[in-house]
Chain A
C-alpha cells in the first residue's frame, strides 16, 4: 500500500477546501450581482410603467372628448377647440414634448406644438403613448399621441442604478468575505476533527462508548475459559 506524506495529504485537503470556498464565494458574488441587476431592472421598469400609465390616462381622456364630439357628428379635423385642450393638458405634464391628434390616415391635425400640425405621425416611434379614437361603429377615426422626453426617464433610471449599486458593492464584498471566513472556520474545524480522530480518547462520545464496549467484549472473549462468556 502506498502511503502519502502528511504534507501531501494536507495539501490535497487544503486544495479541495480552498477551491470549494472560492467557487462558493464566486457564486455568492454572482447572485448578489444578479439580484441587484434584476432589482434595478424591475424598479426602472416600474417607474417607466407608472409614467406611461399616467400619460395613458390623459390620452384616454382626450380620446373620449373627441369620441363624444364625433358621435354628435363633428368630424375630428373640425374639432378646433382641441388645440386649447391639448395645450392645457401639455402644460400639466412637464415631461411631455407634445400631444398630437392624428386623423385616420395618420396626419397630425391638432397638436400642443403647432409646428407638428400637417406632419405624419410615426405610430411605431419610441417614447410615446397612443390612444385610439373610435366612432360609434368602432372604426378608428384618429389617434391621440403623447410624446414624452426619454431623458426624464433616463435620469430616474440612473438615480435608481446609482443608489442600488451604492448598496450592492459593499454587500457583495461583505458576502464574499463572509463566505471566505465561514469556509475557513469550517475547514479549520474539519482539520481539528481529523487530528482529534487520531486519538481514541478524543473521539466523539458515541465512538468512545462503542470502543469501550468492543474492548470489553474482546477482553471477555480472550479471557481464559472464555467459552460460556456470552451474556
Chain B
C-alpha cells in the first residue's frame, strides 16, 4: 500500500496534468483565432517579396526554369520562420521547379499562394505551406515546464510540509501509515516511535496486539531454549525473521528528523545550479585565453567537489566542537555568500573562489546535519533516521535541476544563483527555528590518516573502493554534471530541458535502490549486484558513440541510474561489513570509503573536461564507461564474490554515502 501523502501527491499530479492539458487546449483555440492569421499574413508578405524577386529576373529576360540557387534562397527565408513547413516554386502547369522543406504529414495545412507575373500573365507560383502547430508546440513546451515545476513543487511541499503542518501532526500521520503499511506487508513487529504518542489512542489497539504477540513469542522462545528444543527455536526464529514478531521496528526520532526540511532546502541550492553551471562557467571564461571552453566548464564543478571531498573528515570534528546547529548555520551562510558572489562576479577566477567557499559551506552543513541525525537517534531508529536523511537529499537531487533550469532560462543564471543564495539563507533560518540547541558534543577523535592507511589493508576493500566506488562516482559526476549538460546545450536544448534530463538519474535511484537492496539481501548476492551494477552503468555509457543523440543520452542516463541503483546499497553494505569486522576503528574504513567516493566526484568532471577537449563527447563518455566496466571486472577478479556476512542491513543504511551527487 502507499501512504496518504504519496497517494495525494500522485492524485494531484494527475489533476495538475489534466488542468494544464485544458489550458493547452484553450491556448490552441486562441492561437487558431489570433496567431494563425498573423502567420498567414507573414507568409503572404514573404511570398510577395520572393515573387517580386522572381518577377525582376523574368523581366531581365531570365526564364523561370533557368533560375539558380532558388532552394538556397528559400532555405534562407525559412530559417527564421519555423512555421513555414515548405516553400516551393512551380510553373502554372504544376511542375515544381524548386523547393525547400517538406509538407509531408501536413495535408490539411494552409497554403499561401503568390502568383509570379510575367509580361503575358502568370509565369509561376510561389506556395508557402504554413504549419501553425509550431506555435502550439511552443505553448506545449511552456506547459511541460509548468507541469514539471508543479510535480516538483508537490515533492518540495512533501519535504517541507512538516514546517507548515507541524512536526507533531506529521509524526502522527507517519505513525499511522507505518502501522498500516506493516500490516499490509504482513509484518507484526512492535512499532517504536515518538510520533505515535500523538495518536496513541487510535493506535493503541494495534500496538497492544503486536506487543502481546511479541511478549508471547519471546516467552515461547525462552521456554524452547530452556527445554533444549533446537528445532522449535529455529522455527520461532524463522517466523520472527519473516513476520517481525517479537522485534521492535523504529522510525526516525522526531528530534533527528527535525533537520530534514532545513537539509532539503540547503541541498536544493546546489542542485538548482546543475543544468546551467557548465554553460555559465564557459561564458565567464570566454575571455580567458589560457583555458579551453571544456576545461573552463569543468573547473568550478571540480573545485566544489574537491573541497567537499577534502573537508568531510576534518569538518566532522569541527561540527562537533561548534555544535551541530551552529555548524549548520555557519555552513549555510558561508554557502549563501559563495552563491551570491558567484552571481555578481563577472571574473572567472573569483567565480572559482566563490565555488570553493560554497563547497566549504556545503561540507560543513552536510556533516553537521548527518551528525545531528546520528546524535539524536539510536538503535532501530538510527537506520530509519539516516534513510530519511538520504531520501531528503535524493528528493533535492530530483527537484533542483528542473527548477534551476527554468529559472535560468526565463530569468538568467545570475538570478538562479541568487535564488540558491536566498534558499541557503532560508535553510539557515529554518535550521535556527527547528533544530534544537544542543550542548557541544563530546568531541570524538576523527579518523586519522593512519586509520585510513590501516583500513586500506582490509582484505579486498581496495578492490571494491577503487574498482567500483571510485569509478561509479567518477562516471556519475562526469556524465550528469558536465558531459550531458554541455552536449545537450550544444544540441540546442534549453536549461529547463537539461534539468529534466538530469532528473532521470535521481528518479531511478529513488525508485530502484530499495528494490535492488532488498533483492541483494534476499539472494545474499551483494558482490554480484555490485559487479552487475558496474557493468550496466558502464555499458550504457559505452553505447553513446553508436549515435550521440538525445535518445541514447537518455538510455545512458537511465542505465547509469539503474546500474548504480543495483550497486550502491550492496557496495555500502560490503563496506559496512568490512568496517564491522575490521580490527581497530571502523571509522577508518567508512572514512576511507567516503574519501574515495568523493574523490571520484571531483575527478569525474576534471577528467571529463580534458577528455571532452581531446576526443569529443561520445568517445569521452564511452571511455569513462569503459573505466567503470574495467573496475567492475577487476573487483570480480579480486575474488570478492563470496557473500558478505549477513545481518548488516542496518549497517548498510548507516554507512551509505547518501547515494547522492556528493
Is B truly associated with A? yes
The residue that B15 contacts in the complex, of A2, A60, A160, A182, with Cβ under 8 A, is: A182
| B249 in the interface (beta carbon within 8 A) | no
The answer to the question of A77 belonging to the interface, with a C-beta cut-off of 8 Å to chain B, is no
Of B4-12, B283-291, B463-471, the one contacting chain A is B4-12
Is B254 part of the contact surface with A, judged by Cβ < 8 Å?
no
A32 with B42: CB separation less than 8 A: no
The complex places the Cα of A50 from the Cα of B187 at a distance, in Å, of 64
Which of B26, B42, B157 makes the CB contact (< 8 A) with A57?
A: B42
Instruction: Let me know if A17 and B173 touch, CB within 8 A.
Output: yes
Give A94 to B46 CA distance when docked, in angstroms: 17
Compute how far the CA of A203 lies from the CA of B179 in the bound complex, rounded to whole angstroms. 11
8 A Cβ contacts from A37-80 to B:
38-39, 41-43, 46-47, 50-51, 53-54, 57-58, 60-61
Contact B157 A27 (CB under 8 A): yes
Contact with A along B148-176 (1 / 0, CB 8 A): 01100110010001001110111011001
Q: How far is the CB of A37 from chain B (nearest CB, A)?
A: 9
Partner of B30 from the list A41, A61, A159 (CB cut-off 8 Å) is A159
Q: How far is the CA of A65 from the CA of B612 in the complex (A)?
A: 48
Verify B23–A171 contact, CB threshold 8 A.
yes
Q: Which chain A residue has the least Cβ–Cβ distance from B80?
A: A53
CB < 8 Å neighbour of A53 from B24, B42, B172, B236:
B42
In the complex, what residues of B have CB within 8 A of residue A60's CB?
49
A113 within 8 A of B: no
Contacts A31-B153, A227-B232, A230-B229 given; does A207 touch B26 at CB 8 Å: no
Interface magnitude class on chain A: 35 or more
**Interface majority SS on A: helix, strand, loop or mixed?**
helix
Q: Are A39's CB and B143's CB within 8 A?
A: yes
B231 at the interface (CB under 8 A from A): yes
Asked whether any CB of chain A lies closer than 8 Å to the CB of B353, the reply is: no
Cβ–Cβ < 8 Å partners of B201 in chain A: 3-6, 8-9
Instruction: Determine the chain B residues whose CB is within 8 A of the CB of A35 once the complex forms.
Output: 19-20, 23, 142-143, 146-147, 150
**Residue numbers in A under 8 Å from B179 (CB-CB):** 197
List the B residue with the shortest CB-CB distance to A231.
B235
A147 CB to nearest B CB, Å: 17
In the complex, the answer to whether B239 meets A228 with C-beta atoms within 8 Å is no
CA of A207 to CA of B210, assembled, Å: 11
Whether B188 is near chain A, meaning CB under 8 Å from some CB there, is yes
Interface: B96 (CB within 8 A):
no
Q: Contacts of A187 on B, CB cut-off 8 Å?
A: 4
User: Which A residues are in CB contact (< 8 Å) with B1?
Assistant: 204
* B206, closest chain A residue (CB): A197
Q: Residue of A at shortest CB range from B47?
A: A57
By the criterion CB–CB under 8 Å, are B234 and A174 in contact? no
For A32, the chain B residues whose CB sits under 8 A away are 16, 19-20, 23
Min Cβ gap A85→B in Å is 11
Residue numbers in A under 8 Å from B5 (CB-CB)? 20
Q: Name the residue among A8, A15, A35, A220 with the largest chain B CB count within 10 angstroms.
A: A35
A210 contacts B41, CB within 8 Å? no
A42 to B7, CA, bound (A): 33
Q: How far is the CB of A53 from chain B (nearest CB, A)?
A: 5
Given contacts A27-B150, A230-B232, contact A13 B20 (CB under 8 A): no
Q: Is the CB of A211 within 8 A of B153?
A: no
Say yes or no for B243: interface residue by CB 8 A criterion. yes
B105 within 8 A of A: no
* Residue pair B202, A194 in contact (C-beta under 8 Å): yes
Q: Choose one: B29, B41, B45, B186; the contact of A206 (CB below 8 Å).
A: B186
Q: For the complex, give the distance between the alpha carbons of A47 and B184 in Å.
A: 56
Residue A124 interfacial (CB < 8 Å): no
Residue A175 CB within 8 A of the other chain: yes
Contact A214 B180 (CB under 8 A): no
- Contact indicator B239/A217 (Cβ below 8 Å): yes
CB-nearest residue of chain A to B213: A214
A200, CB-defined interface residue at 8 Å: yes
Q: Which residues of B contact A166 (CB under 8 A)?
A: 26
Quick check: is B616 within 8 A (CB to CB) of the other chain?
no
The chain B residue with its CB closest to the CB of A41 is B142
Determine whether A156 belongs to the interface, using a CB cutoff of 8 Å to chain B. Answer: yes
Q: Which residue of B lies closest to A10 (CB)?
A: B202
Chain B neighbourhood of A43, CB < 8 A: 27, 30-31, 34-35, 135, 139
Asked if A51 and B38 make an inter-chain contact with CB atoms under 8 angstroms apart, the answer reads yes
Asked if B65 is an interface residue, CB under 8 A from chain A, the answer is no
For B213, what are the chain A residues with a Cβ–Cβ distance below 8 Å? Answer: 211, 214, 218
A154 within 8 A of B: no
For residue A168, CB closer than 8 A to chain B, the reply is yes
Chain B CB within 10 Å, residue with most, of A4, A16, A213, A221: A16
Q: Is the CB of A20 within 8 A of B8?
A: yes
B157 and A23 within 8 A (CB): yes
Task: Please indicate the chain B residues that have their CB under 8 angstroms from the CB of A34 in the complex.
Answer: 146, 149
Is residue B414 contacting chain A, with contact meaning CB distance below 8 A? no
Residue of B nearest to A167 (CB): B26
Q: What is the minimal beta-carbon distance from A76 to any residue of chain B, in angstroms?
A: 20
With beta carbons under 8 angstroms apart, the residue of B4, B146, B154, B216 that contacts A38 is: B146
A159 engages B8 (CB within 8 Å):
no
Q: Are the CB atoms of B81 and A168 closer together than 8 Å? A: no
Contacts of B139 in A (CB 8 A): 39, 42-43
In the assembled complex, 10 residue pairs joining A and B whose CB atoms fall closer than 8 Å, in A order, are A20-B165, A32-B20, A38-B142, A39-B23, A39-B24, A39-B26, A164-B27, A186-B4, A230-B232, A230-B234
Nearest 8 pairs between A and B by C-beta? A230-B231, A167-B26, A206-B186, A31-B150, A230-B232, A198-B205, A16-B169, A221-B220
- Beyond known contacts A31-B16, A46-B135: 5 more, CB 8 A cutoff: A39-B143, A197-B206, A198-B205, A213-B239, A229-B232
Please report B residues at the A interface, Cβ cutoff 8 Å: 1, 4-5, 7-9, 11-12, 15-16, 18-20, 22-27, 29-31, 33-35, 38-39, 41-42, 45-46, 49, 52, 80-81, 83, 135, 138-139, 142-143, 145-147, 149-150, 153-154, 157, 161, 164-166, 168-170, 172-173, 176-177, 179-180, 183-188, 197-206, 209, 213, 216-217, 220, 223-224, 227-236, 239, 242-243, 245
